[in-house]
Amino acid sequence: MNIGDIITIEYKGGIEIDAEIVRVYCPACGEEFIGTKRNAGGFIAGHTAYHEFENAQDLLITSLGGQ
């Protein structure tokens, strides 16, 4: 599987036809993902949620006088 490849994937619940392999990364921490656009979307959404949670915790701790 190489970036730019177009593949078909069969899952238990369906089939993904002409799925492109892409590479995405998180600019905040550098973690990378290579896979289909569908799965890359999950990586991006999960990473966004994680970093937003982390930032919110930092703000809370700071507002309570912590470091």
For the question of whether the overall pTM of this predicted structure is more than 0.85, the answer is: no
Short-list 24, 67, 64, CA closest to 48: 24
The answer to whether residue 12 scores a pLDDT higher than 80 is yes
Q: How many domains does the chain have?
A: 1
Query: What is the mean predicted confidence (pLDDT) over 44-56?
Result: 92
Q: Is residue 12 part of a domain?
A: yes
pLDDT at residue 42, as a whole number: 95
pLDDT at residue 51, as a whole number: 92
Write the pLDDT tens digit of every residue in 13-47.
999 999 999 999 998 899 999 999 999 999 999 99
Q: Is residue 1 part of a domain?
A: no
Q: Is residue 52 part of a domain?
A: yes
Quote the CA–CA distance of 29 and 43 in Å, as a whole number. Answer: 13
Domain that holds residue 53: 6-63
Q: Is residue 35 part of a domain?
A: yes
